[in-house]
Structure 1
């Protein structure tokens, strides 16, 4: 038998680890685990927060009926776990100081559960992530109830799909009116105003807006003032 035939019969050389596929040079150690940020455990600091944790207060309506002031975002997260947050607008704030030009970020966030609760908050910081976190906490603290109903003479149903009556709100130079609409019409509004109304739980409404509606800070305040009137006047 020749030397070439002996090499062919012996087959390809086997690796040292015959139990599995060969490892690459970079995977000699155990696989790395991805770091996942753990959720912070809320520890109440105010008397209302301690009562919420103890089970003495079980709803936001109890806090509003007693006229108590919410100073912790964890209270709202505990009583309204279905709240959703959405970043409405972000921007840059530039200011001249003695040391030069300083740049900060601002964020506007809306929080709602699409079932009668809406809050809007703003946050500022040198980092965008921190600005959004501050805006989230501010939105939770500003959550207000919205009374839903059907005030349209064309519909006259018993479902809560619109506002019960016409409301008007102002924020800066922006004036917004929300009118009840029949079921199935949808939200007749701009994209950003429509997103706010969806978070509040409205499905059908007519809207009119005057002023510089591109300024979302003023527009969001006007929308929130409108929806607050449905609860205070209704």
Structure 2
């Protein structure tokens, strides 16, 4: 009982302490411990006051300083009643949280994706791209727990030219990895050659295909799906000769040159590798030879003459 009375007295004291504060008046208003614990519940301590200076009230008044107080017009013993505004006509109070119908799994998934994104759930309810590794590739998980990459349908086909095991000598020994050469093309005049290295063959092919898509070039062709004129290209020690062919000839070439021309959509052409037989260098030499080609209409436009005068 004594503890309850003391707690109530302390709460009453804390509620009345919002007025003003002064060290001298505060300690003067606190009764001794024995009598303080025996005070009744309706005990009201002396209101506390706070002065601008640390001097007592008499000294403050004599010096002419202003007394700083708060809530002077508020009576602590007055009871205030809350008078809320009237509700408008037709107002329907919202149902309680417990009375709402249970949310479906789709609603929960949508809310979860809006807050955390689709990467945490593994599925996109809002139609977002999940696990996007590159602009043209997305990553999924396989049964063995490995990272499996699935190609996105973008109109380009891939063809692996070469996969080799390469070794890098480091301080601690030899570091084994795989190098893949991939040619991508839409068979409509666009082709690209890329190379990538990784510890696994699948990752190396994925990296090389990404690199090939970043290096797309346009192959000039005539209506017979052949080159407009001859062209030669070299890259390193590899040299490649490209010649146009009549309809029905087909692609007469070998190695990486044939793969590049087929992925570009060329159906009648002659190609020859001279020098090195390196697949990567020959593929890049083919791309360089293709970039040197120009259409007849482009040459006539630059010269400012009609196309008929080019053969005079």
TM-score (norm: length of structure 2): 0.46
Q: In the alignment, which of 191, 198, 202 is matched to residue 129 of structure 1? A: 202
Could you tell me how far 1:38 is from its partner in structure 2?
8.5
Q: Note if contact 2:136-2:154 (Cα within 8 Å) is conserved in structure 1.
A: no
After TM superposition, which residue ranges in structure 1, 4 or more long, deviate above 4 angstroms?
A: 37-40, 231-234
Q: Note if contact 1:117-1:145 (Cα within 8 Å) is conserved in structure 2.
A: yes
Q: Mark the CA change 1:231 to 1:191 in structure 2 (over 3 Å): closer, same or farther.
A: same
Match of 2:215 in 1: 142
Matches within 5 A, 1:32-71: 41=129
Match of 2:267 in 1: 203
Q: Distance in 2 between matches of 1:82 and 1:207?
A: 26
Matches within 5 A, 1:185-196: 185-196=249-260
Could you tell me how far 1:182 is from its partner in structure 2?
0.5
Could you tell me how far 1:231 is from its partner in structure 2?
4.8
Q: Structure 2: state its 5+ residue gaps.
A: 1-121, 138-150, 299-312
- 1:228 aligned onto 2:301: no
Matches within 5 A, 1:47-196: 73-74=135-136, 81-149=154-222, 159-196=223-260
Q: Secondary structure at the match of 1:165?
A: coil
Q: Distance in 1 between matches of 2:249 and 2:174?
A: 49
Q: Secondary structure at the match of 1:114?
A: coil
CA radius of gyration, larger in: 2
Q: Distance in 2 between matches of 1:197 and 1:134?
A: 22
Could you tell me how far 1:74 is from its partner in structure 2?
3.8
TM-score (norm: length of structure 1): 0.61
Q: Note if contact 2:249-2:269 (Cα within 8 Å) is conserved in structure 1.
A: yes
Q: Secondary structure at the match of 1:147?
A: coil
Q: Secondary structure at the match of 1:230?
A: coil
Q: Distance in 2 between matches of 1:95 and 1:183?
A: 47
Q: Secondary structure at the match of 1:93?
A: strand
- 1:217 aligned onto 2:280: yes
Q: Mark the CA change 1:38 to 1:175 in structure 2 (over 3 Å): closer, same or farther.
A: farther
Q: Mark the CA change 1:110 to 1:38 in structure 2 (over 3 Å): closer, same or farther.
A: farther
Higher RCO, 1 vs 2 (CA within 8 Å, ≥6 residues apart):
1
Q: Mark the CA change 1:224 to 1:97 in structure 2 (over 3 Å): closer, same or farther.
A: same
Q: Structure 1: state its 5+ residue gaps.
A: 1-36, 45-71, 150-158
* Matched residue count: 159
